[in-house]
């Protein structure tokens, strides 16, 4: 299978006065089309920096980034803009919705930069919002929506262009666990539908459900493998809100909410399952 993403010796160094911050140190990594990959790691380990590079929002200090086989470093600013528009859907940790625009207008925005006529934009944006379960909230402004609804608007905006790569930086970071669960379920559905997804998360139980997870530490890849293994081993010592008290750190199974098939009905079975 050809690699959709290939990072080749990518470094990112921030210079703050005399001090140098090495956010990414020599990262080499491939992600194939159709994969669902989690990025985990402690705060400050370089996850967002890597996502920004993957999303063509930032350029590496050195190294090459091949997206779909072409070297992103050789592209002009305009070409990068087009690439972001066509190939990439980015879900930001802080939603990054335009506050004065309705949910529908927010979702339409990437289609504006694709030059679609208004009617097509509206049809596609409505479809995307319906897909994330917000058919009845289209005309609401972001401040009239709950956090989870905003996140879903942000996801709809990332999906509306049918990107070949969906990037999500802590899409559940601001949400309670139930809403986070809903979002993750949505991503699983998208993955099952064939989308390539790279997702940053702090929650090990979510990463554990991804077929693949990559652990970053101090700007380096320290682990790469099935989500269940990569996500759970080192964090087992850390308390997690979902583990509940009294559960042993090594009790890996406690986090395993089941196989990531997740074609669950929207009403959710949490109450019944208890």
Partner 1 sequence: MLRKLRRAFVELSESSRQAFGALRTHRLRTVLTALGIAVGVATVIAIAAVISGLNSSFTQQVEALGPHSLFISPRPMISRGDWWNYRNRPAVGWGELRALRENATHLALVVPSARTHGSVRRGDEHVDDVEIIGTESEYATASNLRIQQGRFLTDVDTAASRNVVVLGADLGEMLFPSGDALGNRVKIGAQHYEIIGLLERRGAIMGKSLDAIALMPALTFARGFGLHRGLTIAAVAKQDEVNEAEDEIIGILRRYRKLPPEVADNFAVNRQEALLSFYKEMTGGLYAVAFGVGLISLVVGGIGIMNILLVSVKERTREIGVRRALGARRRTILGQFLLEALALSSLGGFFGTALGLFAAQVASWLTPLAARAAPSVVLLGVLFSASVGVIFGAWPAWNAARLLPVEALRYE
Ligand X SMILES: Nc1ncnc2c1ncn2[C@@H]1O[C@H](COP(=O)(O)OP(=O)(O)OP(=O)(O)O)[C@@H](O)[C@H]1O
* Residue numbers at the binding site for partner 1 (CB under 8 A): 52, 55, 57-58, 77-78, 81-82, 84-86, 90, 92, 96-98, 100, 109-110, 112-118, 157
Question: Which one of residues 5, 7, 49, 91 is an interface residue with ligand X (CB under 6 A)?
Answer: 49
Question: Which one of residues 48, 52, 172, 195 is an interface residue with Mg ion (CB under 5 A)?
Answer: 48
As beta bridge partners, residue 30 has: 6
Give the span between the Cα atoms of 199 and 21, in whole angstroms.
24
Question: Which one of residues 4, 7, 36, 48 is an interface residue with ligand X (CB under 6 A)?
Answer: 48
What is the phi-psi region of residue 50: left when phi exceeds 0, alpha when psi lies from -120 to 50, beta otherwise? alpha
Out of ligand X, partner 1, Mg ion, none, what residue 77 binds, judged by CB under 5 to 8 A for its kind, is partner 1
210 near 227, Cβ under 8 Å? yes
> Could you give the angle at which helices 147-159 and 118-131 cross, rounded to 10 degrees?
130
Question: Which one of residues 9, 20, 21, 229 is an interface residue with ligand X (CB under 6 A)?
Answer: 21
Closer residue to partner 1 (CB): 49 or 188: 49
Closer residue to partner 1 (CB): 112 or 130: 112
Closer residue to Mg ion (CB): 173 or 234: 173
- Burial string for 214-235 (b: 16+ CB within 10 Å, else e) reads bbbeebebebeeebbebbbebb
Which SS3 state, helix, strand or coil, does residue 81 take?
A: helix
- In this chain, which residue has its C-beta nearest to Mg ion? 48
As measured in angstroms, the least distance from the Cβ of 28 to partner 1 is 22
95 near 142, Cβ under 8 Å? yes
């Amino acid at each position: 299978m050809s690699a959709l993403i290939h990072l080749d010796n990518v470094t990112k160094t921030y210079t703050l006065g005399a001090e140098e911050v090495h956010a990414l140190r020599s990262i080499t990594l491939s992600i194939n089309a159709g994969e669902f990959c989690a990025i985990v790691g402690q705060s400050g380990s370089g996850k967002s920096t890597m996502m920004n590079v993957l999303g063509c929002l930032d350029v590496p200090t050195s190294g090459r980034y091949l997206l779909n086989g072409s070297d992103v470093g050789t592209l002009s600013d305009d070409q990068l803009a087009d690439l972001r528009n066509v190939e990439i859907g980015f879900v930001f940790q802080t939603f990054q919705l335009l506050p004065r625009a309705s949910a529908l207008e927010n979702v339409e925005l990437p289609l504006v930069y694709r030059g679609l006529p208004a009617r097509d934009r509206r049809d596609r944006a409505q479809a995307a919002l319906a897909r994330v379960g917000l058919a009845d909230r289209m005309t609401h402004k972001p401040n009239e929506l709950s956090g989870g609804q905003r996140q879903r608007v942000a996801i709809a905006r990332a999906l509306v262009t049918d990107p070949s790569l969906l990037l999500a930086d802590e899409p559940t970071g601001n949400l309670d666990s139930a809403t986070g669960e809903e979002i993750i379920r949505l991503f699983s559905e998208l993955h099952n539908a064939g989308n390539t997804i790279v997702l940053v998360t702090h929650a090990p139980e979510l990463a554990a459900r991804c077929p693949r997870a990559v652990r970053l530490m101090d700007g380096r890849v320290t682990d790469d493998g099935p989500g269940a293994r990569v996500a759970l081993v080192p964090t087992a010592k850390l308390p997690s809100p979902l583990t509940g008290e009294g559960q042993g750190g090594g009790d890996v199974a406690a986090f395993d909410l089941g196989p990531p098939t997740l074609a669950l009905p929207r009403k959710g079975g949490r109450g019944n399952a208890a």
